[in-house]
Homo-oligomer: A and B are copies of this chain.
């Protein structure tokens, strides 16, 4: 049974606390996260713990991928936040989704020759390179449980994309913001960040606006409404969901059902 070392913290940390995690700390975190998604065999956990690395630090606002260019190598985010986005010609930006610690960046995804979206850090980040085995053409025949966990991760990605579409297309400003907050809480909770219904996130209202398809000003006013109605507390970069049930009702948030996503090789049992 592997022993995990915590290496992730999305919150603020004093400058003098800053220290790059060791490769082992980073890979332990990644392994722990995927082991939670689906039960994984010891050898498969070891495969994640033995990611080749190296560990890479990137400052805030560094572009990891650029839309339309050949994608960089696959990696896992260990700490900090990033986002996937697209730009329109006149500068409009749409944030397609956030990348939080534990998430892969172009790990075992769909194989596009050119990146479909850009990826940029939104806070200082630590990533660990995943090596060619985790590229888009993975083939984990000897690692069924790892393959299963990665499939669950992909399924979650699809779930967030679908949720985003519904949010943008058919929800009001208040609902959108509520929904996004619940999604973020759910995801951070999954990876052991967050503290009950409180979590911290390096999100400016500008960033939120580009994620929920509103103007910054309107995000501001909508956030005020959430606070005024006692649904959330939200100061600095710390958000507390005060009324989870009510907020969930407003947003019609549907937490992903991952309980039964165990990998099952239904076909070609071989």
Contact = CB atoms under 8 A, between A and B. Distances in A.
Contacts of A220: none
* Max count, chain B CB within 10 A of own CB: residue among A96, A111, A154: A111
A15 interface: no
B212 A270 contact: no
Majority secondary structure, A binding face: loop
Number of copies: 2
B267 A170 contact: no
Interface in A125-166: 132-141, 151, 154-155, 157-159, 161-162, 164-166
Interface stretch (A21-29, A58-66, A84-92): A84-92
A36 interface: no
Contacts of A93: 170
B213 A170 contact: yes
Interface string A80-103: 000000101100111110000000
A9 interface: no
| A interface, size bucket | 35 or more
Contacts of A165: 94, 96, 161, 164-165, 168
A92 B169 CA distance: 10
Contact of A212 (B164, B166, B169, B210): B169
Interface of A: 86, 88-89, 92-96, 109-114, 116-117, 132-141, 151, 154-155, 157-159, 161-162, 164-166, 168-171, 210-213, 252, 257, 259-261, 263-268, 270
